[in-house]
Amino acid sequence: MSLKMDYSPEELERLDKEFVWHPFTQMKDWLQEEPLIVASGEGSYLIDARGRRYLDGVSSLWVTVHGHRQPDLDKALVEQLGRIAHSTFLGLSNVPAVLLAKGLVELAPRGLRKVFYSDNGSTAVEISLKMAFQYWQQRRDPRSRKTRFISLVNGYHGDTVGSVSVGGIDLFHKTYKPLLFETVKVQSPYCYRCYLGKEHPSCGMACLGDVEESMARHHEEVAAIVVEPLIQAAAGMLVFPAGWTRRVRELAAEYGILFIADEVATGFGRTGSLFACQREGIEPDFMSAAKGITGGYLPLAATLTTREVFDAFSAEYAEQKTFFHGHTYTANPLACAVALANLEVFAKERTLEHLQDKARFLAEGLERFWELDHVGDIRQLGFMVGIELVKDRDTKEPFPYEAKTGIKVIKEARKRGLVIRPLGDVIVLMPPLSISREELATLLEIVHESIRSVTEGRR
């Protein structure tokens, strides 16, 4: 088997179509198209095997924070490679993992004191679920009935079986229903298509009623509620009304239900603060982090929790209260070293401080999208944006699924030098936090013209 890198673009495309199965991709369509094969990156840009440059408008699926080939992150990876690439974390530790845990605890919402590492967002959430379940079974005064979870309609927490069980997007999850455990499902805010037919803010966040009613009815059997704080990302960037997440957290505390914050998509600056919970002063019992944790370099995830939860697992060996969960590459030293450097870059470059101005610039640039006939809603939280396209703005009638409107828009954008990815007919923008104002302006212009070209037939 050859590992040479000098294949022609045509040969790489042929090999891809012959051997590869891509995630969240309809492969019949893929096999009929010219694939984009990334060969390198630079700052906010991806460069394909043919040498063409594209703005990375979704941060390579929401992970790239400081841009591609960031010098400090490159250096941290190379230096750690000169020490050791991997050693097990089962019964051992390593230097970068120890220092990263300290750094995460110092920056996380108050009360989170312990860090459990894994590989990706799905596993980070799954660990939260298992810890919450086990906590109630073996704390000093066990509550053996507390075995269920409350999850939100339109929620997405990953693709492993436990994470899918607490998800709520039928398009992704309905096929696997026979494999899943049942949860108590509650409604979540989707203000553009409110299930109660109300409008915010006059609604008074009436959708909280379903959450409180479910907690009141089921609290004696519920271990935890799982929430993406402030925004449901994979559902189409559904931004919650201000204060909604905080009130859910307060209700959970009142009813003795643990609060799991899924910060996989929202963490590491995406909402304007390092973690979304910090925007509303929320102190969760668990926080799952991944995606931007290494700045987009290597797979790594962390589940943070409280000392109270940890203490329920810290016991004599014979009691068998160990958390019997782990992954081969847990706390990989290369990934932890880069993640630690990522935190240092945030501080050195004052990333969050500079982000505020760029988020305002982004908001101002999005205003002109309302002139487009088929833009139904624009949702923004920090550097997370969803533009919902509709067939009829007055009635909010969606385009037919088979029309593939969102896909057509992102393909048009690609022709113009921008890589983005839709969620159905919601066009998602989530560029690297390091993107310049000039690059943001280019991104917005390409998206505007691509939407207009596809939905209005104008070029």
What pLDDT, on the 0 to 100 scale, is given for residue 6? 81
What pLDDT, on the 0 to 100 scale, is given for residue 82? 98
Where do you find CATH 3.40.640.10 in the chain? 74-348
What pLDDT, on the 0 to 100 scale, is given for residue 1? 46
Place of tokens 């203490």: 311
- Contact 185/195 with Cβ under 8 angstroms? no
383-415: per-residue pLDDT in tens?
A: 999 999 999 999 999 999 999 999 999 999 999
Domain 37-66+351-456 coded CATH 3.90.1150.10: yes
- Residues in the chain where the model's pLDDT stays below 70: 1-5, 458-459
What pLDDT, on the 0 to 100 scale, is given for residue 239? 98
What pLDDT, on the 0 to 100 scale, is given for residue 36? 96
Q: Tokens representing 398?
A: 């969606």
Distance from the Cα of residue 322 to its chain's centroid: 29
Burial bucket for residue 184 (CB in 10 Å: 0-12, 13-18, 19+):
middle
The 3-class secondary structure across 361-386, one letter per residue, is: HHHHHHHHHHHCCCEEEEEEECCEEE
What pLDDT, on the 0 to 100 scale, is given for residue 400? 97
What topology does CATH give the domain 74-348? Aspartate Aminotransferase; domain 2 (3.40.640)
Where do you find CATH 3.90.1150.10 in the chain? 37-66+351-456
Residue 427 β-bridge partners: 387, 422
- The SS3 call for residue 226 is strand
d(CA 418, CA 46): 9
Nearest in space to 262 (alpha carbons), one of 149, 98, 363, 145:
149
- The SS3 call for residue 452 is helix
Burial bucket for residue 133 (CB in 10 Å: 0-12, 13-18, 19+):
middle
What pLDDT, on the 0 to 100 scale, is given for residue 270? 98
- Contact 164/176 with Cβ under 8 angstroms? yes
Q: Tell me the torsion sign for CA atoms 199, 200, 203, 205.
A: positive
d(CA 415, CA 176): 36
